[in-house]
Amino acid sequence: MNAIILAGGTEEDKLAQKHGVRNKAFLPINDLPMIAYVVDALLRCPYIDEIIVVGPVEDLAVSLPQGQIRFLPEQGDPIDNVLAATKLLPQDEKILVCTSDIPMITPEALSSLFVAVAEREADIYYPIIRQDDCEERYPGVKRTYAKLKDGSFTGGNVFIFNPQKVLHLAKVFKKLVEERKRPVRMCLAFGLPGLMFIFRFALGLLTVSELERRISHILNITGAAIYCSYPEVGTDVDKDSDLDLARRVLAAGS
């Protein structure tokens, strides 16, 4: 499987501005830019073949290992960047996409996703992590959770997709990226019909399986949630407290 890392962004990002870097991908964590940890995890994952990093090419080339990854300039918003990178990869293989702001990701966490993908055929896969697992691993860290009948979950900063089946849905996914921190509005972005469905979602009465079926029906693709036990898949760096956590965790593991 091949991978795309999204390392774009602007200098308007408040956290990047505060630390004097071009965008979040270059936030300093123990003498390395944040993206270096993500790249390292992917390079050490046995399931990953080619890696494309989308972002400011000159800065990335200075910060990351040469010859092992390909660089692509930003094309626009995150979905535009995914589309451009996907065109450079084989269309008959699934592709993993991740952001550059999950520095605590590990080869083991990534491998667990590939094992889950091999067990179930789908067009797009999205990891979900239980709130209890997140709070046990990283106490006090605030994340956005969706309450379902099966429990409360946060989503990962990773997804896996079949380019032959999913690329035509770019407009829908653009809207989802915009609403990713607001679960109910994400439902509306999908165009999910029926006030009762949204009402049940808001009250936490839907199951993961119901959401999978509904989304698959509306989009005419097969979507699958991956129950993930690795909170680092969804623990991104959005604020100083997240950056402090990443520095502590990665320093302890070095």
- What CATH number is attached to the domain comprising 114? 3.90.550.10
Which residue numbers in the chain have pLDDT < 50? none
Compute the 3-state secondary structure of the chain and give helix, strand, coil in percent, each to the nearest 5. Answer: 45, 20, 35
Q: How far apart are CA 78 and CA 23, in angstroms?
A: 14
DSSP 25: G
What's the confidence (pLDDT) of residue 169? 76
**58-62-63 Cα angle (round to 5):** 115
State the total domains in the chain.
Answer: 1
Residue 215's identity, in one-letter code, is I
The pTM for the full model equals: 0.89
What's the confidence (pLDDT) of residue 163? 93
Owning domain of residue 66? 2-253
* Three-state SS at 209: helix
Nearest to 63 by CA among 18, 17, 5: 5
What does each C-alpha distance from 207 to 160, 211, 216, 225 come to in angstroms?
21, 6, 14, 11
Q: How far apart are CA 84 and CA 103, in angstroms?
A: 24
Sign of CA dihedral 54, 172, 161, 103: positive
Residue 140, judged by CB atoms within 10 A of its CB (0-12, 13-18, 19+), counts as: exposed
What's the confidence (pLDDT) of residue 144? 86
Q: How far apart are CA 170 and CA 94, in angstroms?
A: 16
